Structure 1
Amino acid sequence: MTRRNARGRTRGDILAWLLIVLLFVAPLASLIVGMILLAGEEDKRSVVAEPVFATITEAEFVDAVEVTVAMGWSPGVTVKAPSWSGLVTEIGVAPGDAISAGTKLIRVDGVWRVAAPTSTPFYSPVTKASSKSDVAMLNSLLRSFGLDAPGDSWKSTTLSAIRQFALDIGVPDARSVEAWDPAWVLWTPFSEGTVGSVAVSTGQAAPSMGEDVIVGPPQLASASITAKEGLTLPSWEEGDQWVLRTGDISIPVQSTDLVASGADLSTLARALGSTEPEEAQGVVEREVPIQGWQVPVSAVHTDVSGALCVFRGGASGRLDPVVVEAQRGTIGTTRVFGELKATDQVLVNVSEIARSESCG
């Protein structure tokens, strides 16, 4: 046999074996692999998911949100001197003291000068010949001092009240005075206030007309709150009661603009007025905590009608739907409100067990 014939036979054998592999071995291998894969899928389908339950936790929620309070300040209200002369012999108030009708503020030449929150300052003596409006304003003031001065017209009771007041503040010959002296009082543009500072001191000459005697604490001209980055303030329209807490101060709030919403900022102003900071840190939280339940996020089911519920484990493996209201929560949990008990366990893998169930 020649070498050429041998090489031809070898090539033929190789082609024959390749043909056998292509026609028989490859399809057989593919069939075997397909049967293995099919068996695996059948095994997967034959595995039935088992219900997984978790306990629930009852808790109080205040929904605290860290905030920054931005503040703008304005000068405090001042109490000005009337027409005085003499020497300041005593100071009756100190920073932080409250001022109201009749508060003894300063003593000049031994006579106390007291706070008078009238609608306008007295600019001249008041006698029985004065205008009806001046007499009415005087009678009202004397009554606020606790004296007997009924009505709006000049009566014997008016003069008696004037003399008693003059006696109380140390006016010489008080029982013989015939008129009201406007120098006995300092007009205050508020019914109640607080002393921020006293602008006079004992031993100095009495301040001239229009000079400061008492300076009120700085006032908050603006105040607003913003949530820290990544946090959200509550929805004020929901009607819940919220408070701003900063330091030891607690203020009811219903808006981010504290001034526009009418929040009482007097406590905040008193606490921070000495330093007048532009910002303060605090929290906004519920005034009264609410009770609720913490459940895993996956336990809350939404049915085709849009209702929300959780499935409570019942007797004999039964699943009892409990309609709930869901609110914000923490990572992995949701807060819900509904007819649940501390001993309840809720279905966690709802998507596997009860995906098509109704909450009704």
Structure 2
Amino acid sequence: MPAASPRTSLKTPLIGFALALTAEALHLVLTGPPSPAGVALHLVALAAVAGVAVWAMAGAAASRRELAETQAQLAELQHAIESQEELIDGAGEAIVVIDDQATIVTFNRAAERIFGYGAAEMIGTSLERLMTEGGRRAHAEYMARTGVTAMVEAAKLRTVHRGVRKRGDVFAFELTMTEWSDAGRRMFTGVLRDVTDRERTADALRDANAHFNQLFEAIGDPLFVYAIGGDGGFVLDSMNSAAEAFTGRSRYAIGGWAPEKLAKDEGRALKRALLECLSSAASTTAEVALLATDGPRTTALTFTPMRNPTGEITRVLVHGRGAQRPAARTKDAA
């Protein structure tokens, strides 16, 4: 049965009071003028009815105020809930909220786009549905051992995981997890970012570096790589096995050397050639005597600028050809 509204509650004592007055008027008409004692009795009765009516009206007014306050609070709460839902759904990154048993309670639109499932399909199901077979086994083992989702560990740091889309393909995503409490229950909010392109780029870069290193070592001529320092100077970054044999020094022993140390007396010529390559942004050549363990060796050097992915020149490749040791001076020549 529906509860009475405040307006109905307010009308009830007024109607009762009006009925009491009507009854008294009829009583006077039918019985004639009352005795003094009867009058007093009737006045007391009317005062009691009036008091009850006033008390009821005050209570109804208070109830009406309380109800209005409650309705205002409920409206504010509803607005907060709607604002939170709009914020979560409008986020550009996937947001998934789970409880301590990995049951999904929130699955926003970005998560729908990334995984291919609708929120209605995922809410109430386990997060394991989005994991690879290996991930599901590991998560189940953690749950059996600790009684709580493995996201407890993921909440401590940003991690990269493998997920499975609805269509079955596996992809990489970066996960940032935070833990919070809802009425004493542990909850976890995960923000997921698809890093498939980033991982693909990293894999390609690793392959390119591996290929470069393979070629770098396979070339029989001495190769040196000079990096450009923050102060605009040059430092020896790397060299190949042929350069180690040429100089008689390990790449680890002379790594970080300035041009002046490797070229000794002709250090300025080597630095000038490096600067010319850098300023022209094109290959240049020069003959420089490089210092080997058995003495200086004049070498025809080719300087080639090396660019990073943004097109900026960050290193210079120095290729040595025709290395030769200068003839010893005779006594007569001396």
Sort the TM-score into its range (normalised by shorter chain). under 0.3
TM-score w.r.t. the length of structure 1 is 0.22
- Give the structure with the larger strand fraction: 1
Query: Which structure exhibits the higher relative contact order, with contacts defined as CA atoms closer than 8 Å and separated by 6 or more residues?
Result: 1
- Give the structure with the larger helix fraction: 2
TM-score w.r.t. the length of structure 2 is 0.23
